[in-house]
Amino acid sequence: MFCRGGTPWPPHCSLYARVGRPRSAAPTKNMNRFVLLIVILGSTSVSAQDITTLEKIGPVVSVQRTDKGVTLNCHDNSQVQISILAPDLIRVRASFTKPIPARDHSWAIAKENWTTPRWNVSETSDVVTITTDELEVVIRRSPLLIEFRDARTHQLINADEHPMSYDAGGRLASMIFDPKAGMFVAASKKLGFDEHFYGLGEKAARLDKRRSSFVNWNSDTPGYIEGKDPIYQTIPFYMGLQRGIAYGIFFDNSYRSYFDFGKSSQQRAWFGAEGGELNYYFFYGPSIKKILGRYADLTGHMPLPPLWALGNQQSRWSYYPDSMVEEVVNEYRKRDLPLDVVHLDIDYMNGYRVFTFNKERFPDPKALTDKLGRQGVKVVTIVDPGIKHPPDKNERYHAFDQGLEKNFFQRRRNGDLFVPRVWPGESVFVDYTLPEARRWWGDLHRVYTDNGIAGIWNDMNEPSDFVDQTGKNQLDVVSYDEGEKSTHAKNRNTFALLMARATYEGLERLRPDRRPYVITRAAYAGIQRYATMWTGDTNSTWDALALNIPMFTSLGLSGEPFVGSDIGGFIGRGNGELLVRSYQVSFLAPFCRNHKAIDGYDQEPWRFGKYYEDIIRKYLKLRYTLLPFLYTTLEEAHRSGVPPFRPLVLNYQDDPNTYNLDDQFMVGNDLLVAPILKPDVSKRLVYLPAGLWYDYWTNKKYTGGTMISVEAPLDVVPMFVRGGAMIPVGPSLNYVGEKPFDPITFNIYPDESGAASGTLYEDDGLSPAYKTGVFRRTTFSARRGPRGIVTSIERQEGTYNAGPRKFNFVEVK
Ligand code: GLC
Residue 755: CB atoms within 10 A of its CB come to 15
Q: Which of 363-367, 547-551, 712-716, 786-790 shows the lowest mean pLDDT across its residues?
A: 786-790
Tell me the C-alpha distance between 645 and 557, whole Å.
9
| Any ligand 1 atom below 6 A from CB of 345 | yes
- Over residues 102-115, the pLDDT tens digits come to 999 999 999 999 99
Q: Which residue has the higher pLDDT, 25 or 691?
A: 691
C-alpha distance from residue 102 to each of 95, 181, 494, 755 (Å):
11, 19, 21, 56
| Any ligand 1 atom below 6 A from CB of 382 | yes
Rounded to the nearest angstrom, the distance between the alpha carbon of 279 and the centre of ligand 1 is 34
252 touches 106 (CB < 8 A): yes
Q: Which residue has the higher pLDDT, 34 or 750?
A: 750
Cα 238–221–261 angle (5° rounding)?
25
Residue 466 has pLDDT above 70, yes or no: yes
Tell me the C-alpha distance between 431 and 435, whole Å.
9
Considering the candidates 252, 340, 459, 577, report the single residue annotated as catalytic: 459
458 three-class SS: strand
> Euclidean distance between the first and final Cα of the chain, in Å?
51
194 noted as active-site residue: no
Residue 212: CB atoms within 10 A of its CB come to 19
Question: Which secondary-structure segment (H or E) carries 792?
Answer: strand 788-797
Query: What is the DSSP-derived secondary structure letter of residue 16?
Result: H
- Over residues 640-672, the pLDDT tens digits come to 999 999 999 999 999 999 999 999 999 999 999
Considering the candidates 195, 260, 384, 537, report the single residue annotated as catalytic: 537
571 touches 601 (CB < 8 A): no
Q: Which residue has the higher pLDDT, 24 or 118?
A: 118
558 touches 199 (CB < 8 A): yes
| Any ligand 1 atom below 6 A from CB of 634 | no
666 touches 643 (CB < 8 A): no
How high is the pLDDT of residue 729? 98
- Over residues 578-620, the pLDDT tens digits come to 999 999 999 999 999 999 999 999 999 999 999 999 999 999 9
Closest ligand 1 atom, residue 317 Cα: 10
pLDDT > 70: percent of the chain: 94
The per-residue DSSP string of 468-535 comes to: -TTSGGGTTEEE-GGGT-EEHHHHHHHHHHHHHHHHHHHHHHH-TTS---EEESSEETTGGGT-EEE-
Query: What is the DSSP-derived secondary structure letter of residue 286?
Result: S
Q: Which of 2, 9, 317 to mutate to test the pocket of ligand 1 (most atoms within 8 A of CB)?
A: 317
Average pLDDT, the chain: 94
Tell me the C-alpha distance between 32 and 552, whole Å.
28
C-alpha distance from residue 632 to each of 236, 309, 348, 794 (Å):
28, 14, 35, 16
C-alpha distance from residue 346 to each of 17, 221, 320, 371, 422 (Å):
15, 18, 10, 21, 12
| Any ligand 1 atom below 6 A from CB of 12 | no
Residues 6 or more apart in contact with residue 193 via CB below 8 angstroms: none
Nearest alpha carbon, ligand 1 atom 11: 1
**Residue 149 half-sphere exposure toward CB, CA atoms < 13 A:** 15
* Cis omega (within 30 of 0) for bond into 143: yes
- Over residues 74-105, the pLDDT tens digits come to 999 999 999 999 999 999 999 999 999 999 99
- Over residues 179-219, the pLDDT tens digits come to 999 999 999 999 999 999 999 999 999 999 999 999 999 99
267 touches 190 (CB < 8 A): yes
Query: What is the DSSP-derived secondary structure letter of residue 306?
Result: P
Closest ligand 1 atom, residue 1 Cα: 7
How high is the pLDDT of residue 44? 39
Nearest alpha carbon, ligand 1 atom 12: 346
Beta bridge partners of 64: 71
φ/ψ (deg, to 5) at 10: -50, -50
| Any ligand 1 atom below 6 A from CB of 521 | yes
| Any ligand 1 atom below 6 A from CB of 536 | yes
- Over residues 145-171, the pLDDT tens digits come to 999 999 999 999 999 999 999 999 999
Nearest alpha carbon, ligand 1 atom 4: 317
Rounded to 10 degrees, what is the CA torsion of 344, 346, 348, 350? 160
Residues 6 or more apart in contact with residue 263 via CB below 8 angstroms: 46, 47, 211, 212, 213
Residue 22 has pLDDT above 50, yes or no: no
* pTM exceeds 0.85: yes
Residue 182: CB atoms within 10 A of its CB come to 22
Rounded to the nearest angstrom, the distance between the alpha carbon of 457 and the centre of ligand 1 is 10
Rounded to the nearest angstrom, the distance between the alpha carbon of 389 and the centre of ligand 1 is 20
Beta bridge partners of 92: 82, 280
**Residue 178 half-sphere exposure toward CB, CA atoms < 13 A:** 24
Parallel, antiparallel or unpaired: strands 156-166 and 145-150 = antiparallel
Q: Which of 320, 380, 382 to mutate to test the pocket of ligand 1 (most atoms within 8 A of CB)?
A: 382
Query: What is the DSSP-derived secondary structure letter of residue 256?
Result: S
Secondary structure (H, E, C), 153-190: CCCEEEEEEEEEEECCCCCCHHHCCCHHHCCCEEEEEE
Rounded to the nearest angstrom, the distance between the alpha carbon of 1 and the centre of ligand 1 is 6
537 noted as active-site residue: yes
φ/ψ (deg, to 5) at 709: -105, 130
592 touches 688 (CB < 8 A): no
Closest ligand 1 atom, residue 345 Cα: 12
| Any ligand 1 atom below 6 A from CB of 537 | yes
Question: Which secondary-structure segment (H or E) carries 283?
Answer: strand 278-284
Rounded to the nearest angstrom, the distance between the alpha carbon of 537 and the centre of ligand 1 is 7
Residue 486 has pLDDT above 70, yes or no: yes
φ/ψ (deg, to 5) at 633: -70, -30
Q: How many residues are present in the chain?
A: 813
| Any ligand 1 atom below 6 A from CB of 571 | no
How high is the pLDDT of residue 440? 99
C-alpha distance from residue 495 to each of 83, 431, 476, 718 (Å):
28, 8, 15, 41
Rounded to the nearest angstrom, the distance between the alpha carbon of 224 and the centre of ligand 1 is 14
How high is the pLDDT of residue 27? 36
Q: Pick from 213, 228, 206: which is nearest to 260 by CA?
A: 213
How high is the pLDDT of residue 50? 82
136 noted as active-site residue: no
Residue 31 has pLDDT above 50, yes or no: no
749 touches 726 (CB < 8 A): yes
B/e letters for 772-781, b = 16+ CB within 10 Å, e = fewer, are eeebbbbebb
Tell me the C-alpha distance between 804 and 561, whole Å.
31
| Any ligand 1 atom below 6 A from CB of 271 | no
What is the separation of C-alpha 66 from the centre of its chain, rounded to a whole number of angstroms? Answer: 36
Rounded to the nearest angstrom, the distance between the alpha carbon of 105 and the centre of ligand 1 is 32
Tell me the C-alpha distance between 674 and 666, whole Å.
9
Instruction: Give me the amino acid identity at 343.
Output: H
Rounded to 10 degrees, what is the CA torsion of 552, 556, 558, 563? 60
572 three-class SS: coil
| Any ligand 1 atom below 6 A from CB of 347 | no
Residues 6 or more apart in contact with residue 448 via CB below 8 angstroms: 355, 381, 383, 456
Considering the candidates 462, 481, 560, 635, report the single residue annotated as catalytic: 462
Cα four-point dihedral sign 333, 335, 336, 339 = negative
How high is the pLDDT of residue 522? 98
| Any ligand 1 atom below 6 A from CB of 317 | yes
Instruction: Give me the amino acid identity at 227.
Output: G
